[in-house]
Amino acid sequence: MSVLDRALLALFALLVAVLSLGTLVVVAGWAVPLDLFELSLRRPDYRIIAGLVATVLFLLALRFLVASVRPAAAREEQAVIKAAELGTASISLPALENLVIRAARQVKGVREVRTRLHVLPEGLSVKLNITVSPDRNLPELAAALQQQVHEYIVATAGLEVPEVQVRVNGIYQEGVRRAE
């Protein structure tokens, strides 16, 4: 949200709060604000001021209604892979996810891979959720997977990978065959 939008929202909230407070005191039985409002509408210059306030409230409400319905532009996070005099080269997170999945599938025993990546100041944080074959040593498989992903991302994208977390979510079960 831009600074202008925040200022408009604050103004709108303030005006709505004042009008709500005035309505509450009138409902509670204090008739002075209602009398002042009725008296102000009898004078043409006060009527213009009331019309301007109502117009501003309407336009602000319309502005925020349109802003809330309009879909927000998705900001795609990227990692810088090379900064040079002529500019930067970057890679999107979906592209990095594809590289991580490719590296993970090269490890024997990994059946399914889901990734979550975060760009950190020190490099790329990789979190893997995997399903593995049932006949594998899990600590060895996890270590091999961490090493493979780390080396592959460093070699292909040139990014540091200070962290590769592996979580085994399941053991792959082949369908049981029945003899008939």
The three-state DSSP-derived secondary structure of the chain is CCHHHHHHHHHHHHHHHHHHHHHHHHHCCCCHHHHHHHHHHHCHHHHHHHHHHHHHHHHHHHHHHHHHHCCCCCCCCEEEEEEECCEEEEEEHHHHHHHHHHHHHCCCCEEEEEEEEEEECCEEEEEEEEEECCCCCHHHHHHHHHHHHHHHHHHHHCCCCCEEEEEEEEECCCCCCCCC
Same domain, 157 and 98: yes
Domain count, the chain: 2
Q: Are residues 88 and 162 in the same domain?
A: yes
Q: What is the pLDDT of residue 74?
A: 57
Among 48, 69, 90, the domain boundary falls at 69
User: Is there a single domain that holds both residue 51 and residue 117?
Assistant: no
- Asked if residue 65 and residue 82 are part of one domain, the reply reads no
For residues 36 and 115, membership in a common domain is answered with no
What parts of the chain have a pLDDT lower than 70? 1, 72-77, 80, 82, 175-180
Predicted local confidence at residue 101, as pLDDT: 95
**Is 178 within a domain?**
no
- Same domain (yes/no): 94, 116: yes
Is 176 contained in some domain? no
Residues 48 and 31 in one domain: yes
Residues 112 and 167 in one domain: yes
CATH number, position 119: 3.30.70.1350
Its pTM stands at 0.55
